[in-house]
Amino acid sequence: MSLKGFHVVLIFLAILCSAGFWGWAYNDPKAAIELQVVTASNLSGSLAIALAVYGVWFVIKKWKDIEA
């Protein structure tokens, strides 16, 4: 696997982690408020969106340069 391919995998895993944390806080707001992580979860949701946009941009712009 090339370095660019590995980068795509890491971006995907980062999106899953960020979206997963946001999803947990969204589905269990009482626990999120109790643990005082509401702001962090909202930032994590925004980060997941930003990473998804970056991931799409990276694949479109850089994927054609990846040699198999």
| Spatial CA neighbour of 45 closest among 11, 25, 22, 24 | 22
Whole-structure pTM value: 0.84
* Residue extents of the structural domains in the chain: 3-65
User: pLDDT (tens digit, 0 to 9) for every residue of the chain, 68 residues total?
Assistant: 788 889 999 999 999 999 999 999 999 999 999 999 999 999 999 999 999 999 999 988 876 765 55
Contact 45, 19 (CB under 8 A): yes
Closest CA to 45 of 24, 66, 68: 24
- Torsion angle, alpha carbons of 3, 23, 29, 50, to 10: 60
pLDDT for 41:
96
Quote the pLDDT of residue 66. 59
User: In whole angstroms, what is the distance from residue 45 CA to residue 9 CA?
Assistant: 19
